[in-house]
Amino acid sequence: MAVLTWDGIHREIDAWNHDTNLRQAFKDSTVWFYQVLARRAGYERMQQFINKVGYGNRQIGTAADIDRFWLQQQLLQITPKEQIKFLQRLYQGDLPFSQRTINLVKDIMVREQTPDYTLRGKTGWLTSTKPNVG
């Protein structure tokens, strides 16, 4: 898994202040990591992905918003029911991505696993050094 180099800008959340990979960025909700990926993907490609999966209201703004559209309340929005449907599609492998990609995402999402169950999840946002569940 590729590691992105930290830009050296000190951020309030200590876990964000080092090089990281996708697995750790997912766990820590490392915003700068996702901003780098979004800029690399570019506006047109990102909008195509959002449209292809039918995610929420599909509003990512303009090219200038590419590295923050998911952080701005007036742009990308999804209802709880839509989010549940999206996660069901992920679980069932019914998204327009390779099975390898879907399996990787499902693996990264594991928070707890026993012989009896697997719990997957993601914090909704971080506003300080403590995660908030969204």
> Could you read off the pLDDT of 110-131 as tens digits, one per residue?
999 999 999 999 876 544 444 4
Q: Does residue 60 belong to any structural domain of this protein? A: no
Q: Does residue 100 belong to any structural domain of this protein? A: yes
Q: Does residue 108 belong to any structural domain of this protein? A: yes
Task: Please give the average per-residue pLDDT across 64-85, as a whole number.
Answer: 94
Q: Is 84 left (phi over 0), alpha (psi -120 to 50) or beta?
A: alpha
Cα–Cα nearest to 25, from 14, 11, 15, 12? 15
Q: Does residue 91 belong to any structural domain of this protein? A: yes
Task: Report yes or no on whether pTM surpasses 0.75.
Answer: yes
Q: Does residue 113 belong to any structural domain of this protein? A: yes
Domain total in the chain = 1
- Domain range for residue 115? 79-124
Q: Does residue 53 belong to any structural domain of this protein? A: no
Task: Please give the average per-residue pLDDT across 15-23, as a whole number.
Answer: 96
Task: Please give the average per-residue pLDDT across 94-119, as a whole number.
Answer: 96
Q: Does residue 3 belong to any structural domain of this protein? A: no
